[in-house]
Structure 1
Amino acid sequence: MRKILIVGAGQSGLQLALGLQDRGYEVTLMSNRTADEIRSGRVMSTQCMFHTALQHERDLDIGFWESQAPRIDGLGVSVAGPPAEDAPEGPLPRIIDWVGKLDGYAQSVDQRVKMAGWMETFAQRGGQLVIHGAAVSDLDFFARTYDLVMVSAGKGELVSMFGRDVSRSPYDAPQRALAVAYVHGLGPRPEHPDYDAIRCNLVPGVGELFVMPTLTTSGRADILFWEGIPGGPLDVFAGVKDPAEHLALTLRLMERFTPWEYARAGKVELTDGGGTLAGRYAPVVRNPVGRLPGGGAVLGVADVVVANDPITGQGSNSASKCAASYLESITDHGDRPFDETWMRNTFERYWTTAQHVTKWTNAMLAPPPEHVLNLIGAAGQIQPVADRFANGFDNPADFENFFFDPEKAGAYLSTFGG
């Protein structure tokens, strides 16, 4: 039986551990926190998983919360216009608003719920769970005792083993300041009170507000997620430590920049004392193989090697797709050594999918060109355009066919007589 060590108990590490365990591998999972510590800690992310990623969980019979989490049937885009001339500091108007229907529903489960539950499941199924914050020196030892060591912990000392791939990383600094609040009490969107949708609110030159239903430790909730252009009016959360102050600031910004969302937030309250998060990081693609001091090699997983800005909501989706791809590469390899050539080939197999996410995400961080504005505007008038844009969140490769190139975008819109 081949022995595999996975360091890091997030979406990718746990999904991969449970998948390998199911296929008969002897798996050790290393986490720096217990399941109870994760469950009672601070929120770790925003996350909304679309059909393909959810199916990877179903294939492993680990979609434990699917019947409890809100069913997200749509994805909408709203665009704020310039302020009124007679009220330059007043609430911004909304000049575009539409919602696309998803072919397969999406869902969000607070990672505190999911990761804690998956850790307990892994241990119950006989996996070896080690609670220990691993250092490079630890991996130097483990690389000699395991057939394969993978690192899926995207922060801390271990990431330094994986150098930045300059050719695939156009940004060397954070492109957004991030601020998250999990809340109860958000009212429905009056445009479609009968079903749940993710709302992507674009405020040109300022940033974005994303609103998504989720399942958290205390049941149904909603995530309010600001992405602010660094140095702009949304980049104000860095020194905020008090959760209540964080929420109050979130709401004040909503009142100014997205008053249509603020209108349904009159009764919101934080889900819990750990329901806020703020930070920033530079989007990056890293080299997939980490070299240890003793000469051994380890393989990076998910956001260790491809960390995109969350503006396109792809983090947990990419983590799931990476775990599924790596699972197939490992099982396809049989009893042969997991050498550096195999590691690089395994990453490149995943990159065939991940490259589309990275290209699209990096494009969304820049000011939109005219043809993209035309597409977003047309989606408000042509439902199939809205639906196609929404389903691109599940299959970002489709954006190659109509989004990036002005000629392809024009040709696509012309099929509707535009």
Structure 2
Amino acid sequence: MRKILIVGAGQSGLQLALGLQSHGYDVTLMSNRTPDEIRSGRVMSTQCMFRTALRHERDLGLNFWEGQAPRIRGLGVSVGAPDHSRAVDWLGELDGYAQSVDQRLKMAGWLETFAQRGGQLVIHGAAVGDLDFFAGRYDLVLVAAGKGELVSLFERDGARSPYDAPQRALAVAYVHGLEPRPEHPETEAVRCNLIPGVGELFVMPTLTTSGRADILFFEGVPGGPLDAFQDVRDPREHLARTLELMERYVPWEHARATGAELTDEGGTLAGRYAPVVRRPVGRLPSGGAVLGVADVVVANDPITGQGSNSASKCAASYLADILDRGGEPFDEEWMTGTFERWWGTAQHVTKWTNAMLAPPPDHVLRLLGAGGRAQEIADRFANGFDDPADFEEWFYEPEKADAYLERVTA
């Protein structure tokens, strides 16, 4: 039986650990927190998982909350005008529903499942020295902890990383009491509110520790008016500032948030990080090699909501490659090839995300504007969140965009 060590208990690490466990591998999983500590801690993300990522969970029988989480069937886009009205406002229909489950629920539950199924769970914040000690005792070591000292093992890939500084300041609040959007009160949807030159507000339904809720997620251009949370320490002050900014910049969303209250004391999060692609193989002081997983090696800004989706797709891709390897050694050549096979999918996420961080060119503004007149465009943009590779055909180049617009409007 092949022995595998996975360091990190997020979406990718846990999904991969449970998948390998189901195929009979001897898996050790290292987490820096217990399930109870995760469940009672601060929110970790703004996850919304689309059809393909949800299918990967379903294939492994890990969709424990599918019957409870809101079924998100639409994705809407609004673009603010200078007078704070909406210059653009439309709703695209998803081909398959999306869902958001608070990672405090999911990761705690998956950790408990892994242990109940006989997996070796080690509660320890691993450092480089720990991996150096353990590496020779396992056939493969995977690093799925996207923060902390271990990330330093993986060299930045400058050719695939156009940014060297954060492009957005992030601020998240989980709330109860948000009213339905009056334009589509019966349809659960993610709403993307774009404020040119200022940033974005995303609103999405979720399942949290206290039931159904909504996530209010600001992405502010650094140094701009939405970059306003660095001095906030109190969760209630965080929500008050969120609502103030909503009232000023997205009054159509604020109108349904006047009764919003935090879900819990841990329901806020703020920070920033630079998007980066790193080389997939980390070299330990003793010379051993470890393989980076998901956002350890491809960390995109959350503006396109791809974090948990990419993590799920990475775990599924790595699982298939590990199973295909059989009894052959997991050498550095195999590690690099395994990453590159996943990069074939991940590169589209990175390209799209980086494009959305930049000021939109004229042809993108034309496409977004046309979404309100042509449902096909609205639907295609919405479903690009599940398959970003489709944007290659119509979104990036003015010639392709204009040809697509001409065909649809004809």
TM-score interval for Structure 1 and Structure 2 normalised by the shorter chain: over 0.9
Q: 2:3–2:139: 8 Å Cα contact kept in structure 1? A: yes
- Deviation per CA, 1:336-392: give whole Å up to 9, x if none: 000000000000000000000000000000000000000000001000100000000
Q: 1:77 matched to which residue of 2?
A: 77
Q: Does 1:37 align with 2:52?
A: no
Q: 2:50 matched to which residue of 1?
A: 50
Q: 1:269 matched to which residue of 2?
A: 261
Q: 2:358 matched to which residue of 1?
A: 366
- Deviation per CA, 1:4-58: give whole Å up to 9, x if none: 0000000000000000000110000000000000000000010000000000000
Q: How does 1:17-416 map to 2 (within 5 A)?
A: 17-83=17-83, 92-416=84-408
- Partner SS, residue 144 of structure 1: helix
Cα distance in 1 for residues equivalent to 2:381 and 2:409: 18
The Cα shift of 1:416 comes to 2.1
Equivalent position amino acid for 1:282 in 2: A
Cα distance in 1 for residues equivalent to 2:93 and 2:139: 45
Q: 2:374–2:409: 8 Å Cα contact kept in structure 1? A: no
- Partner SS, residue 199 of structure 1: strand
The Cα shift of 1:228 comes to 0.0
Q: 1:89 matched to which residue of 2?
A: none
Cα distance in 1 for residues equivalent to 2:6 and 2:225: 41
The Cα shift of 1:195 comes to 1.2
Cα distance in 2 for residues equivalent to 1:75 and 1:206: 21
The Cα shift of 1:93 comes to 1.1
Cα distance in 1 for residues equivalent to 2:408 and 2:143: 47
Cα distance in 1 for residues equivalent to 2:47 and 2:408: 34
The Cα shift of 1:167 comes to 0.2
- Partner SS, residue 108 of structure 1: coil
Cα distance in 2 for residues equivalent to 1:240 and 1:417: 47
The Cα shift of 1:82 comes to 0.6
Q: 2:171–2:219: 8 Å Cα contact kept in structure 1? A: yes
Equivalent position amino acid for 2:183 in 1: E
Question: Which consecutive residues of structure 1, in runs of 5 or more, have no partner in the other structure?
Answer: 84-91
RMSD: 0.5
Tell me the TM-score normalized by structure 2.
1.00
- Partner SS, residue 116 of structure 1: helix
> Percent of aligned pairs with the same residue?
79
Cα distance in 2 for residues equivalent to 1:380 and 1:203: 17
Q: Where does structure 1 differ by over 2 angstroms across 4 or more consecutive aligned residues?
A: none
The Cα shift of 1:157 comes to 0.3
Tell me the TM-score normalized by structure 1.
0.98
The Cα shift of 1:417 comes to 3.2
Equivalent position amino acid for 1:37 in 2: E
Number of residues paired by the alignment? 410
The Cα shift of 1:95 comes to 1.0
Cα distance in 2 for residues equivalent to 1:342 and 1:271: 45
The Cα shift of 1:94 comes to 1.0
Cα distance in 2 for residues equivalent to 1:378 and 1:153: 41
Cα distance in 1 for residues equivalent to 2:86 and 2:239: 23
Q: 2:12 matched to which residue of 1?
A: 12
- Partner SS, residue 415 of structure 1: helix
Cα distance in 2 for residues equivalent to 1:375 and 1:357: 19
- Partner SS, residue 367 of structure 2: helix
Cα distance in 1 for residues equivalent to 2:243 and 2:112: 36
